[in-house]
Structure 1
Amino acid sequence: MTSSFLRDGCAALALIAATPALAQAPSNADLADLVRAQAAEIAALKARLDKLEGQNAAMAAAQSAPTPASAPQMAQQQAASPPLTVSPFAPQIVPPGPADIDVAQARAIAANEVGLKTEWGAGLPVFRSADGVFTYKPRGRILVDVSSTMGSKYSGRNTTTTGMRALRLGLEGGVGPHFFYQFETDFSENEVDIVTAFMGWRNKIGSKVDYDVRVGHLFNDRAFEGSTGSDSTPFLERGTVSTAIIPQRGFYGIGIMGRMFGPNWHASVAVTGDRVDGQQATNDSRTVSARAHWNPIKTDTSLLHVGAWGFDEALSSAATTLTRSTVIGGRFNGAVRVSTGELLGGRSTTGYGVELGGYTGGLWVMGEAGQRIARLDAGRPDFKSKAWSLSTGLFLTGELPPYNPRLGSFGQPNVLDPVLDGGTGAIELTARYENLDYTDLVLGGEGWAATVGVNWYLNSFTRFQLNGIQWHSDNRAGAYTGSDDGQTISARVGVTF
């Protein structure tokens, strides 16, 4: 096209140059014919030029439009594009890590990976292999507390203490879309303690339901606050339902857990033995547990939560002591507790509870209640522990409560205006009333606590918390018996990776 244009231009110039030689004395008619011929040539040249410019524009548009590409071209385009951002389970929480995403998200990540990828998320990087098959993320948790108690009639309860609520290091990752793993060790009591340690398999059942199966040292799926990690609870310590209505082995046990997830519900079933220990001379206790939650109302700004859970444990011959001493005024004052008194000869226990709550905008409310039945030997009657709590919170800075609809628990909040970006962070006001009753035993005590607090989230993984607790205990055994009241002020700085 360009060569034709040049050829035509040269012909026109030659015609103009030759005109004087063709006619030494042209007539007016000849001149008029010549002008008309030159005008025609110029018009033809202009039409060709317009056509050429139109074709060039079309070619540029075609090049900018997406077209099928070869494998090397696709690789170059993907390498130049930003990494895939996995959609979180809810916009108000931090996206889950490699061990918590579902199989669809794992497949999406693998399909997008070309070249080694390192992405910085909530505090620590996520590493992905060149083919997207292998995923790895370090994990960490530092929770530092200080607590001061006053007002008790017993001077031994009026203490000021410090402690590490959690000091964890670990990792999580996956191989392909199905296999995943997680491991964490806690050093908070100046001892090495294995906490979460499992491997698992995930897949889908139809288009709307998926599942996973985990094997290893597993965290309980029990109660709302009991299923929420210690770094995500809105208060410095979980409520009495989670701390008292619990299997004898505690929050962890070695075994297998299956979980199923739908669009607005989840259900889990687990069979576990004792937690990690070095005791293999006797049988483990056996615990069967289950939990389910349902969100019958679920919109962009509001949600209703309904949940239920239960467990049944057959106690080992080495775990027949059921004596309990449960904190009521904060974790780091070991003297402020509600006690059962000495309780020996346990055979088995059964616990169950219900959850009801939800949120609208930045306001959330959650009520929990539970009961534990301990069966004793030698013909003695069963012992019943009862607990309940009512909690609420309000985000003043526009965030939605960090509710995870996949698990029916709280997670890390997605802060809208982080302090590290020059913003104000997220500010949450909280309040809770909780009650615990061990009086079904002759020597059993009872107590309650009312807590008000404020949480300041600098970003999605750093927070400051302050709790003021008015507590009451009435123990019938131990060093601090009778009715007693006091106040505890606790504070925390926490970082979660």
Structure 2
Amino acid sequence: MTLLRSLAAGVGLAALATSALAQSAPSAEEIAILRAQVQALSARLEQLEAQSRNAAQASPVVAGTPAAIAAPAPRPVQTAAATTAPAPVDWATGLPEWRSPDGAFTFKPRIRVTADLSTTFGSEFANRDLTTTELRGLRLGGQGRIAGGFSYWIEGDIADNSVSVANAFIAYSRKLGGRDLEISAGQRLNDRGVEGGTAEDQTPFLERSLMASTLGPERGAYGVGVAGKLTGSVWHASLSVTGDAISDGTTNDTVALMGRTHWSPLKTEAGFLHLGGWGFVEDLTPVTTLPSRNLVVSSRANDNLRLSSGTYANPKASSGFGLEFGGVHRSFWAMAEGGKRVVETAARDFDQDAYSLSAGFFITGETPPLSARTGTWTRPKVLNPLGADGYGALEVVGRYDTADFSDSLTGGEGDTWLLGVNWYPTNNTRVSAHWTAWSIDNRTGAFTGDDSGNTANLRMQTAF
């Protein structure tokens, strides 16, 4: 502090000298003002010196420590990159998603467990009146992103006491004119209608409709090949060229060209209108006979309750198309889908016709999870998940569907009326109770002739 007082005196003298240089004869009044300023500064420095001595006496220096404590180092300033870096593990969707520090690489496991209880009664055939339980599906896999705009998805399914590969592909994504372009190679679910293009755990019904099962290509719901999709805010268009699903490689593949588009006009906060269409052509020349399709009627757990298409000898090609019309208004949704498949054989062409009408309503006020962007179902966003203050989401659904193979002498026909309730405790869990009144008329197989009855299904499911 003595040094500070000397410095203050020096400042005062410098001020006097400066004043003297400015004017050779300073007045007595100016000298008095400068002297008062120097005295005030000296008094303030003495006060600070006394406060410093008191603080030192109150906090004696501990042996072994520095006599003077350095001021704490300033906190490092976070850069923009540091504040926006993704967390290494994200649990937002219920399962962990691992991410690299720059977010360019990710990995997320996929799990689906579905268990069913089914009972059928009222059939003319005693062997159709079955009560069964089934692990409808145990699906395990993973998906993620790779630096450079690539992504991958692979999963296997354990169902009906067998293991199969479902989605298994790699994709490249980028922006094109403000839209999302995706090109994929491998095996993936068909983009064919609303029900046919949606994963089974996300459709409002426990089984896909007779319409969705009837009008698909011979290879089924999956095929290995190349697919491209362009997606806007309220529309999308896709095109794929595929062979059969993953097989043993002992026969030639059939080849199918398939395309779909949908548009959601009149989109408002209350809902939107859905319009769509799809079509395919396939080459069946490597096939000598098309085996009979045995379509699921209400429950996959009852193998004695099926609708048979009959066989087709010497097929050459197949083609099909479908139309989609429906929409969403607040908590209500409705959808109509229908179309035709034509099987070309050496003898003649055979028609296969099918359509479905479906609707649903969320009693608890949720928005139906039909995407105006992709034209497929997603999982609902539950407003009040099950817990201390919530009871989940409750949806009532209904559907009528029909399929007709009777253009062939061995083809059957049938229809179903369905009424069900879906309870979603959380976004990833579901409990469903569905009742179906069915009527089928098979011309081949162990259960031929006109028959009708009822089937009740109960399902518990969790999917991530």
Matched, 1:443 2:429: no
1:292/1:120 Cα in 2 relative to 1: closer, same or farther (>3 Å)?
same
Q: Which of 63, 78, 84 is the matching residue for 1:73?
A: 78
Matches within 5 A, 1:167-182: 167-176=138-147, 178-182=149-153
Task: Give the 3-state SS of the residue equivalent to 1:133 in structure 2.
Answer: coil
Q: Which of 75, 82, 85 is the matching residue for 1:113?
A: 85
Matched, 1:251 2:221: yes
Deviations 1:447-474, CA, capped at 9 Å, x for gaps? 1100000000011100001110000011
**1:479: which partner in 2?**
446
Deviations 1:403-427, CA, capped at 9 Å, x for gaps? 1222101011111111146411000
TM-score by length of 2: 0.82
Q: CA RMSD in A?
A: 2.4
2:223 is matched by which residue type in structure 1? G
Quick check: which has more Rg, 1 or 2? 2
**2:392: which partner in 1?**
425
Matched, 1:263 2:233: yes
Q: CA separation in 1, counterparts of 2:116 and 2:192? A: 25
**1:347: which partner in 2?**
316
**1:229: which partner in 2?**
199
Matches within 5 A, 1:229-378: 229-279=199-249, 281-318=250-287, 320-377=289-346
1:295/1:319 Cα in 2 relative to 1: closer, same or farther (>3 Å)?
farther
1:318/1:76 Cα in 2 relative to 1: closer, same or farther (>3 Å)?
closer
**1:90: which partner in 2?**
none
**1:188: which partner in 2?**
159
Number of paired residues?
A: 399
1:223–1:241 contact (8 Å) kept in structure 2: no
2:110–2:142 contact (8 Å) kept in structure 1: yes
2:128–2:302 contact (8 Å) kept in structure 1: yes
Q: Which of 326, 347, 363 is the matching residue for 1:396?
A: 363
Q: CA separation in 2, counterparts of 1:262 and 1:319? A: 42
**2:114: which partner in 1?**
143
**1:492: which partner in 2?**
459
2:287–2:314 contact (8 Å) kept in structure 1: no
Identity of aligned residues (%): 40
1:444/1:423 Cα in 2 relative to 1: closer, same or farther (>3 Å)?
same
Deviations 1:201-258, CA, capped at 9 Å, x for gaps? 0001123x12000000121000110011110010100111211111111111110000
1:261 is matched by which residue type in structure 2? T
Task: Give the 3-state SS of the residue equivalent to 1:409 in structure 2.
Answer: coil
Q: CA separation in 1, counterparts of 2:403 and 2:309? A: 11
**1:154: which partner in 2?**
125
Q: CA separation in 2, counterparts of 1:353 and 1:184? A: 28
1:397 is matched by which residue type in structure 2? T
How far did residue 153 of structure 1 move?
1.0
Q: CA separation in 1, counterparts of 2:214 and 2:455? A: 20
1:71/1:306 Cα in 2 relative to 1: closer, same or farther (>3 Å)?
farther
Matched, 1:463 2:430: yes
Structure 1 segments unaligned to the other structure (5+ residues):
8-36, 46-69, 79-111
TM-score by length of 1: 0.76
Q: Which of 163, 168, 171 is the matching residue for 1:200?
A: 171
Q: Which of 114, 129, 137 is the matching residue for 1:166?
A: 137
1:291/1:268 Cα in 2 relative to 1: closer, same or farther (>3 Å)?
same
